Amino acid sequence: MMKNNRNTLGKRIVALMLSGMIAIGIQPAINVVVDAAETQSEEQETVTTFESGQTAEEILWVISEDLTEGNDIYYAKEETVQVEVAISNSKQNQFKTIRIYRDGKLIEEKKIGKSKKLFFLVPLDKGKKATNQICAVPVDADGNEINEKSQMLVDGKRILYDSKTPRIVFTTDDTVYQEKNYIYTKNNIDFNLEVATGISGIQKVKLQINGKEIKKDKYGKAFGLYNNTQYIGIPTKEKYALSMDDLPETDTYEIHVCVKNVAGKEYQKTYYLYRDTEAPKLESIVIPEIAENVGQMYPMKEDNYYLFTNKQVNTIITMTDGKHGAGVKKTECYLVDEHGKKLSKKNVNGNQIKLQIPENFKGFICARGTDWLGNTSNYGYTMSGMVAESSKKHEEAGTIEVGMLEPNAVDEDGDGLYRNNVKLKVAVKDSYSGIRSIEWKVTAPYDMENNYEGKCEVSSSGNVSNNSWEVKETDRNLVTKMQGELNIRNNSNDILVEICMTDNAGNTTEKELVLGIDKSAPEINVNFDQQIKNKISSKNCTATIQIAERNFQENQVVLHVQKAQDSKNAAYKVSKWRTDYNREDPDNSTHTATVTFEEDGEYIFWVTYKDVVGNKAKQSDLYKFSIDQTAPEVQVDMANNDYFTKAPTATIRIKEKNFDPEQVKITGNAKNSNQKEQKFPGISGWKKQDDTYTATVTFTADGTYNFSVTATDKAGNKAKTINVKEFRVDQTKPEVDISGIDDSKSYKDAVQPIIRVKDDNLDTNQVHVKLVGANCGEVKLDGHCEIVKTKSEQTIHLSDFAQEKMVDDIYTLTAEGTDRAGNKVKKDIRFSINRLGSVYTFDDNLKKMEGTYQQKTQDVVLTETNVDELEQESIKVTLFQNGVPKDLVENQDYVIEKTGGNGKWSQYNYRIDKKNFEGDGSYSIVISSKDKAGNINENDAKDKKAEISFGIDATKPVIMPVDVEESGTYAAATLKASISVADNLLLKNVKILLNGKNVDYVQDGDNYIIDVPESSARQEIYVTAEDAAGNVAEYQIKNLLVTSNAIVRWYNNKPVFGASVGIGAGLICVIALMIGVARKKKAGK
């Protein structure tokens, strides 16, 4: 077979054209440039030019590189082929486009570019009966096809699309196991390789086995390239026979086959043939739950136990058939318990089986496998024995027993307390999975040098690591019971003995004991307070007893008290015992109580003590003393306030028989508002009444005070100190300052009041600011002010008032402040905001008059309202009559009534006398003023919307006919009658009726023109006119005759008509007379 090559074919076409031109006597000038690249875009193609004396264009070639020639048929391996069309160079440029047809159907049309080469993608018909004849047809500038210049691809031969990829199949009649491309056999086999292609047929078959190319099958059929240049009878199927007997001896064969069809499609496939004669083997046994401890287990033949777990687990048994085995088809297993009984027999398809180990199991696992070729392994122990012991089973099988002597006593926690060292006998047992280890630990918080710990481990063969422990019972290689002894020597309480046994399955049994050993003797120490130095106390006499002891019990303390002969009483009180625990040395923990002797008398006192385990303390010293006591009573009377607005007085009362004023101490502190020291007030003289002494202290100056009072009598008895809490004297009110505005002032610019409230004891929560408008009421200040607080001052900055009409008002700003003492201050400022000036309102009559014309005059009444008062001299009223201004005079032409003011809006009511509007004309009124805020106000200002203008008109309109008159006769088919209508001010409406019906008119200035059509009857025109003030005028034109008929005009002209009739009658009579006379004459003849 031969594939088209563009360069070669191009050269052949050029050569053929040259030979043809030379044959007909043309000597061409040729410049051929062939692009070396196989494929380029149209813009990148190198231009191939053919210059000759011949001027006509030609299609040089139509070729495709996507076709392969078969048996007189061309084949394509893709659904679309690229077609190249080349056109010769010519000065004529007859061709404009090229059209490509497939089987007569237009596929695409392209314009010819500079390169003179075009490329088309042509989809093929994929049907079995397809011909796919592809033709290139040139088209001229007028769109006409030049069929005689067309050219067919591959001379119009049939083109077929081979859509099928070649196929390769491995077959055999022998027994094998095949999985996809992998084939397994026990023995040598014969096998076939079958190849097939689509319609284009087989071009090449190549076979390699283990990298070596095979030339022929066992019957001599050759592999390789089909060498039939005519492509006659190209096969689409082939079958090759092979035998393992003919191949080199090995267990592994890699069979690689490559097939290519004529269309160019290639397919490769590799088969792997393995010889497998061995049975599956155990690959692993994994118990995932304990894999971190034991990993993977492999077959072991020992009868001992080496695998343990404390939970129900799953065993994953995996069999393997080797790297090139057929694979495990089936896996079987079962359990054998410690008594030889088979349990949980199971088999599954595949190489892996999951077997659940019972919760409590002691025994072995057996397994075997069968591969896909029937090779089966033998049963056998897969690993050493295993024990699964659950925590519940361990509760039955595992125990720790401790034996010890009875304690001498118990401590406050109920734990045993011993006077000497203690020995513990310990027995440990686990009857199922056996003991793996025993751990013990003796921990005391004190005397820690006698703390110790230890561990005894049991090996998998049953050997122990500590000789102080004795093996008592075993099961095969398992140790199930052990015994040992622990010595406790710590001089300490809370000795913690911890014993932990761990079995081989990982379960633990723990036991804890707490005990104490006290070997130390207590110590006693007794101290009296200072008053016993002289052996006479002015107060209760107190002895402090302190006993150093770790395990103290107060019922073991004996207080010895003897009364002297002359003493009447020997009473005493014992406090509760207080323990100060010494964490560094509990033996030095102290237990303290006081013995108080309250009655006068003479005493002898000593203490003895023995602890709970029998350790005795040395007796305390012997004490002798007397008591004589009377204590002063001090009282301070004063109001319990934090602040005072008036000078307070403190009254001091002391009740004491042996009063000593020199021993009364008043300790006081005084500070002013700046927290600087100031003089504390003095005390008044003492006044006595019975056994009570009274004095006073008065605090007249503002400041912060606190003081205390104490007293001692002559016997040295000291009274309890009375402390008076801190208080403040504040007789000064807060200061309020308002800036940014002045009282009774009006503003039209920015207004931003600032309020400051100051006091040394200012209560910032009691500072209030209120803003009230005379019209708008109270104004909410939230969000419109900024507040700054300090300890003694609060400042409020109000925001500027909005530039809005509704904001203009008279405001009262009230600021209040209260200090913590209750002093209160209040300040008011009244001011006004007047940015927009006056507002004008009309009474009802003026509202109706404004902008209209009236027949009658009336007073003009309106009101001017302003936040502030107007400057009286600024008020001016100007009247414009027909545009001529006139200043009106107050109380002559108009009057003003003023209301409001003094915190209310000012109102000025204007009444302008109607006499100012006598006479017809147009009137307007302008009122101007100036308020105290400086605003210039005029009612005719655009923003005031209060302009006053009106008209007075008592005269009716005037109606006059222009070119038509009553009883007039007009010789015309249509009469254009003109009527003049005028008014002195403003004409509102004109209405014209002709013969009682409204007619349209044309206005020309004051003239109103209507068309009066001719009629044999007389007609009537009726005109009405109304001015803007409502004055109405009427005019009537009667007996109007309009006609172009002279007889009708003659008939309707009665005098002429009468005369005409008379004359006619006379004439008739004359004629009749003449005729009569003439007849008579004739008759007489």
Query: Cα–Cα distance between 352 and 319 in angstroms, integer?
Result: 6
* 597 class by beta-carbon count within 10 Å (0-12 exposed, 13-18 middle, 19+ buried): buried
Span 638-660, pLDDT tens digits: 988 888 989 899 999 998 877 88
Distances (CA, A) of 473 to 532, 958, 1064: 74, 153, 185
Span 442-460, pLDDT tens digits: 999 999 999 999 999 999 8
Mean per-residue pLDDT, 330-338: 90
- What pairing do the DSSP bridges indicate for beta strands 328-337 and 409-410? unpaired
Better-scored residue on pLDDT, 872 or 807: 872
Distances (CA, A) of 1084 to 1071, 1072, 1074, 1077: 20, 19, 16, 11
| Cα first-last separation, the chain | 156
Ranges of each domain in the chain: 6-161, 167-275, 281-388, 400-430+443-517, 523-627, 636-655+666-729, 735-833, 839-947, 958-1052, 1055-1085
Q: Which residues contact 312 (CB under 8 A, 6 or more apart)?
A: 356, 357, 358, 359, 388, 390
- Spatial contact of 819 and 645, defined as CB atoms under 8 Å apart: no
Mean per-residue pLDDT, 761-785: 86
Task: Kindly tell me if the per-residue pLDDT of 1059 is higher than 60.
Answer: no
- What pairing do the DSSP bridges indicate for beta strands 853-854 and 590-597? unpaired
Q: Which residues contact 533 (CB under 8 A, 6 or more apart)?
A: none
Q: Report the SS3 class of residue 340.
A: coil
Mean per-residue pLDDT, 66-95: 88
Span 8-33, pLDDT tens digits: 344 344 434 443 443 333 333 333 32
Query: What does the DSSP 8-state code read for residue 805?
Result: G
Mean per-residue pLDDT, 715-722: 84
Structural domain 6-161, CATH architecture? Sandwich (2.60)
Task: Kindly tell me if the per-residue pLDDT of 1034 is higher than 90.
Answer: yes
Q: 1056: pLDDT confidence band, cut at 50, 70 and 90?
A: low
Q: What are 650's strand-pairing partners?
A: 697
Whole-number pLDDT of residue 90:
82
CATH number of 839-947: 2.60.40
Query: Cα–Cα distance between 433 and 480 in angstroms, integer?
Result: 8
Class assignment of domain 735-833? mainly beta
Whole-number pLDDT of residue 531:
63
Span 500-527, pLDDT tens digits: 999 998 999 999 999 999 999 999 999 9
Q: 261: pLDDT confidence band, cut at 50, 70 and 90?
A: confident
Whole-number pLDDT of residue 903:
80
775: its two tokens:
């019209």
Mean per-residue pLDDT, 773-801: 86
Indicate the helix (H) or strand (E) that contains 728. Answer: strand 722-729
Whole-number pLDDT of residue 4:
41
Mean per-residue pLDDT, 937-954: 88
Residue listed under structure tokens 């302190």: 546
Task: Kindly tell me if the per-residue pLDDT of 566 is higher than 70.
Answer: no
User: Among residues 719, 943, 734, 946, which one has the least CA distance to residue 827?
Assistant: 734
Quote the mean pLDDT of the chain: 85
Residue listed under structure tokens 């361990």: 394
Longest dimension (CA), the chain: 227
Query: Cα–Cα distance between 58 and 784 in angstroms, integer?
Result: 94
Q: Report the SS3 class of residue 1046.
A: helix
Q: What is the dihedral of CA 489, 491, 496, 500, to 10 degrees?
A: -10
Query: What does the DSSP 8-state code read for residue 720?
Result: P
Query: Cα–Cα distance between 103 and 132 in angstroms, integer?
Result: 6
Span 165-186, pLDDT tens digits: 899 999 999 999 999 999 999 9
Query: Cα–Cα distance between 878 and 872 in angstroms, integer?
Result: 16
Q: Which of 100-114, 115-129, 304-318 has the lowest mean pLDDT?
A: 304-318
**Stated pTM of the model:** 0.41
Whole-number pLDDT of residue 37:
30
Whole-number pLDDT of residue 272:
95
519: its two tokens:
């070997």
- Spatial contact of 617 and 521, defined as CB atoms under 8 Å apart: yes
Whole-number pLDDT of residue 887:
92
Whole-number pLDDT of residue 348:
93
Mean per-residue pLDDT, 756-784: 87
175: its two tokens:
């027994």
Mean per-residue pLDDT, 999-1003: 92
User: Which CATH fold would you assign to the domain 167-275?
Assistant: Immunoglobulin-like (2.60.40)
- What pairing do the DSSP bridges indicate for beta strands 478-488 and 470-475? antiparallel
> Could you tell me what percent of the chain has a pLDDT over 70?
87
Structural domain 636-655+666-729, CATH architecture? Sandwich (2.60)
Span 220-249, pLDDT tens digits: 999 887 654 444 567 888 999 999 999 999
- Spell out the alpha helix ranges (H) of 806-867: 844-849
Q: Which residue type, as a one-letter code, is found at position 140?
A: D
Better-scored residue on pLDDT, 715 or 197: 197
Q: Which residues contact 707 (CB under 8 A, 6 or more apart)?
A: 650, 666, 667, 668, 669, 680, 697, 723, 724
Phi, psi values for residue 165, rounded to 5°:
-85, 140
- For the beta carbon of residue 224, count every other beta carbon within 10 angstroms: 12
Whole-number pLDDT of residue 1051:
66
The angle subtended at Cα 237 by Cα 236 and Cα 241, nearest 5°, is 155
Q: Which residues of 56-78 are buried (b: 16+ CB within 10 A; e: fewer)?
A: ebbbbbbbbbbbbbbeebbbbbe
- Spatial contact of 334 and 366, defined as CB atoms under 8 Å apart: yes
Do the two domains 281-388 and 523-627 of this chain adopt the same fold? Answer: yes
Q: 140: pLDDT confidence band, cut at 50, 70 and 90?
A: very high
Mean per-residue pLDDT, 853-879: 91
Structural domain 523-627, CATH architecture? Sandwich (2.60)
Structural domain 281-388, CATH architecture? Sandwich (2.60)
CATH number of 958-1052: 2.60.40.10
- What pairing do the DSSP bridges indicate for beta strands 936-938 and 921-930? antiparallel
Task: Kindly tell me if the per-residue pLDDT of 592 is higher than 80.
Answer: yes
Whole-number pLDDT of residue 773:
83
Whole-number pLDDT of residue 22:
34
